[in-house]
């Protein structure tokens, strides 16, 4: 049933192959996006984890900023970790970003690599709901400082820190569903692509 | 409190969190820097991480003497100057240098043959650390011994500080070729194969199943041009380290940015041609074939 849909994964730098493996597990067709013409014929886009400064500079360098913004007007886009930073309208440091979602993001919000961690997250919008927590992998992760309407928080850590948000067809997660075995976030994104 | 709990959980640190950072570095360039100024140039050029050093390998070669862990004061200054991850090197087997680097808070420790080894028989027991390690290798057996000791990332050794890519190619071809031949072997030959390359049996099984190393595998040692970086990527590594190649060249910022972009567009010769034009003089380099055995760094490691 997913046969007709194709999802692109931004493949400039970072953990793009992990997303592609997850999509293939769901039977979704996918393609790597390295240049503007790669956006043709895809129905959704994932911006993977990686270094947000590197990915942002490469997006600017290969003239992808405007084409991705235009693509996002009509299509679903999901950013994980670095991808979330690139989707945010507000970040504290000057670096090239897409500025799409009404969220403010703090980079490296939990500290350095030694402070990276795993924590289970109750996420109501996923299949199974809060009763079935999602394994969150946080690596030098950002966090959501502010989420303004129409963006909404959909996941928090036990201490209340907001770590995932949705706004229309755009999804942002501070953690890495592509590094866990759980496919539910990718399924959730595919529902956004289909709608 | 929350942070404290997380820190404690991290002690029993999952390999997922340690190797996960390396997964985020894939498709990227990690650059050697010797000052905060260099680090800022590297970050501006799009480096995914920097390796904080007192001397780049080319200078270690020229100046000789014992090469040790860098001054923690310098490493801290470099950490404060950029927002990307910072790595630092300790000597092979010198677990106290590694403890110090962990205490400073570096994001990755490179147990490196570029420094003078502190132990001629044993590497560091890397599972005991919360900070992840990257280690060099020349072949599959060496890679799997390091992973067995707890390395969360592997790089080919190449021949650091030469600007000659030939050894990086040799080591990448050896590791990737051995993986291909392992995949063609029937099960009953795997124990003898593990024995012959001196690798843990369980890891040999895992590599055969995955068709690749179980951790991220970068190229290093002698990469000096955008074409070198793209060559290594086309051979099948996950990303590249560039040491002396950038800051020993005439125009480091332009070269650094070109190598970053070449690592992304490594399969697109038209873009590579564009990126390779007008970069100024590369590092002059020395032929690795002309080095005496005792001048080669890659032989260090057991």
| Contact criterion met (CB < 8 Å) for B2 and A17 | no
A45: number of CA atoms within 13 Å, CB side? 26
CB B264 to CB A50 under 8 A? no
A126/A56 Cα distance (integer angstroms):
29
Helix (H) or strand (E) holding B108: strand B108-112
What pLDDT is stored for residue B3 in this prediction? 56
Instruction: Spell out the alpha helix ranges (H) of chain B.
Output: 2-11, 15-25, 36-45, 57-63, 72-81, 95-104, 140-149, 166-183, 190-197, 201-210, 226-235, 244-247, 252-264, 269-276
CA distance B51 to B88: 5
User: Where are the domains positioned within chain A?
Assistant: 6-194
Distance CA A159, CA A110 (A): 12
Confidence (pTM)? 0.95
Q: What is the overall mean pLDDT for chain B?
A: 94
Whether residue B88 has pLDDT greater than 80? yes
pLDDT at B105 over 70: yes
**In this predicted model, which residue has the larger pLDDT, B5 or A69?**
A69
Q: β-pairing, B240-242 with A117-121?
A: unpaired
Confidence of residue B108 (pLDDT cuts 50, 70, 90): very high
Ranges of residues in chain A with a pLDDT under 70 are 1-3
A interface test, pick of B26, B105, B263 with most A CB neighbours within 10 Å: B26
Query: Is the CB of residue B69 less than 8 Å from the CB of residue B48?
Result: no
Q: What is the pLDDT of residue A175?
A: 97
In the block, residue with structure tokens 């989707």: A87
> Which active-site residues of B does the annotation give?
89
> Cα separations (Å) of B33 from A34, A48, A156, B53, B220?
28, 27, 38, 6, 15
Reported as a pLDDT band with limits 50, 70 and 90, residue B11 is: very low
What are B37-69's pLDDT values in tens digits?
999 999 999 999 999 999 999 999 889 899 999
Residues A190 and B27 sit within 8 Å (Cβ to Cβ): no
| Ramachandran category for residue B290: left, alpha or beta (phi over 0 → left; psi -120 to 50 → alpha) | alpha
**Closest residue, chain B, to A82 (C-alpha):** B24
Distance CA A42, CA A30 (A): 8
Asked if omega into B218 is within 30° of 0 (cis), the reply is no
- The two tokens of residue B3 are 């942070």
Residues 6+ apart with CB under 8 A from A11: A32, A33, A34, B27, B264
- A94 part of contact set with chain B, CB < 8 Å: no
Structure tokens at B182: 């392992």
pLDDT of residue B237: 98
Q: How far apart are CA A188 and CA A155, in angstroms?
A: 13
Q: Which of B229, B263, B22 is nearest to B134 (CA)?
A: B22
Q: How far apart are the two ends of chain A, measured CA to CA in Å?
A: 14
Q: Is the pLDDT of residue B268 over 70?
A: yes
The reply to whether residue A11 touches residue B14, judged by beta carbons under 8 angstroms, is no
Count other Cβ atoms within 10 Å, centred on residue A162: 19
Please say if the pLDDT value at position B4 is more than 60: no
Q: Please name the residues in contact with B140: beta carbons below 8 A apart, sequence gap of 6 or more.
A: B174, B175, B178, B179, B182, B197, B199, B207
Going by pLDDT thresholds of 50, 70 and 90, the confidence category of residue B12 is very low
Query: Which residues does chain B have within 8 Å of residue A159's beta carbon, measured at their own beta carbons?
Result: 2
* DSSP SS3 for B268: coil
Q: Could you say which of B21, B27, B260 has the minimum Cβ distance to residue A139?
A: B21
Q: Which residues pair with B156 in a beta bridge?
A: B137
Q: Which fold has domain A6-194?
A: Rossmann fold (3.40.50)
Taking contacts as CB-CB distances below 8 angstroms, the residues of chain B near A17 are 26
Query: Does residue A12 belong to the interface with chain B, where contact is any CB pair within 8 Å?
Result: yes
pLDDT per position as a tens digit, B182-236:
999 999 999 999 999 999 999 999 999 999 999 999 999 999 999 999 999 999 9
Beta carbons within 8 Å of B10's beta carbon, 6+ residues apart: A114, A115, A116, A117, B17, B130
Q: What count of CB pairs under 8 Å joins A to B?
A: 123
Output the pLDDT for position B294.
87
Tokens in use for A81? 């970790």
Rounded CA separation A186/A54 (Å): 24
Q: Which of A10, A12, A13 to mutate to test the interface with B (most CBs of B within 10 A)?
A: A13
The alpha-carbon gap from A134 to the nearest alpha carbon of chain B, in Å, equals: 15
ipTM of the predicted structure?
0.94
Q: What would the pLDDT profile of B121-154 be if each residue is shown by its tens digit? A: 999 999 999 999 999 999 999 999 999 999 999 9
Tokens representing A86?
């690139």
Q: Which of B86, B118, B90, B124 is nearest to B105 (CA)?
A: B86
Q: Is A81 within 8 Å of chain B by CB?
A: yes
């Amino acid at each position: 049933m997913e046969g007709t849909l194709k999802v692109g994964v931004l493949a400039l730098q970072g953990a793009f192959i992990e997303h592609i493996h997850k999509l293939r597990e769901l039977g979704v067709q996918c393609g790597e996006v390295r240049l503007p013409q790669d956006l043709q014929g895809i129905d959704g886009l994932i911006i993977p984890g990686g270094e947000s400064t590197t990915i942002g500079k490469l997006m600017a360098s290969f003239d992808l900023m405007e084409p991705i913004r235009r693509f996002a007007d009509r299509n679903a886009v999901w950013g994980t970790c670095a991808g979330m930073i690139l989707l945010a309208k507000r970040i504290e440091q000057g670096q090239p970003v897409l500025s799409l979602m009404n969220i403010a993001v703090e980079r490296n919000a939990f500290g350095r690599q030694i402070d990276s961690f795993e924590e289970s997250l109750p996420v109501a919008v996923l299949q199974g709901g809060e009763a079935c927590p999602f394994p969150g992998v946080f690596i030098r992760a950002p966090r959501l400082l502010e989420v303004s309407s129409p963006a909404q928080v959909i996941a928090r850590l036990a201490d209340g820190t907001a770590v995932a948000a949705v706004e229309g067809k755009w999804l942002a997660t501070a953690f890495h569903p592509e590094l866990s075995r759980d496919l539910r976030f990718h399924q959730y994104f595919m529902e956004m692509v289909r709608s | 409190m929350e942070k404290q709990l997380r820190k404690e959980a991290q002690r029993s640190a999952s390999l997922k969190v340690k190797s996960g950072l390396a997964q985020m570095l894939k498709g990227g360039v990690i650059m050697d820097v010797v000052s905060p100024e260099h680090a800022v140039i590297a970050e501006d050029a799009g480096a995914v991480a920097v390796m904080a050093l007192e001397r780049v390998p080319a200078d270690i070669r020229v100046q000789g003497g014992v090469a040790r862990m860098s001054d923690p004061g310098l490493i801290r200054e470099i950490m404060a100057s950029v927002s990307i991850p910072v790595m630092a090197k300790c000597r092979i087997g010198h677990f106290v240098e590694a403890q110090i680097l962990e205490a400073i808070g570096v994001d990755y420790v490179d147990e490196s043959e570029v420094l003078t080894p502190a132990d001629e028989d044993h590497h560091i027991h890397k599972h005991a650390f919360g900070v992840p390690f990257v280690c060099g290798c020349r072949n599959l057996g060496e890679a799997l011994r390091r992973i067995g000791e707890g390395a969360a990332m592997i790089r080919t050794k190449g021949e650091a500080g030469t600007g000659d890519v030939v050894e990086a190619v040799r080591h990448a071809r050896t590791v990737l070729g051995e993986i291909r031949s392992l995949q063609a072997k029937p099960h009953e030959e795997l124990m003898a194969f593990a024995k012959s390359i001196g690798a843990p049996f369980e890891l040999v099984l895992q590599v055969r199943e995955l068709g690749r190393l179980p951790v991220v595998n970068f190229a290093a040692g002698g990469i000096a041009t955008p074409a070198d970086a793209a060559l290594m990527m086309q051979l099948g590594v996950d990303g590249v380290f560039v040491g002396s190649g950038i800051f020993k060249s005439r125009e480091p910022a332009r070269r650094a940015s070109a190598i970053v972009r070449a690592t992304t567009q490594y399969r697109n010769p038209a873009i590579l041609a564009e990126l390779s034009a007008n970069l100024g003089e590369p590092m002059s380099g020395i032929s690795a074939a002309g080095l005496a055995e005792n001048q080669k760094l890659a032989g260090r490691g057991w």
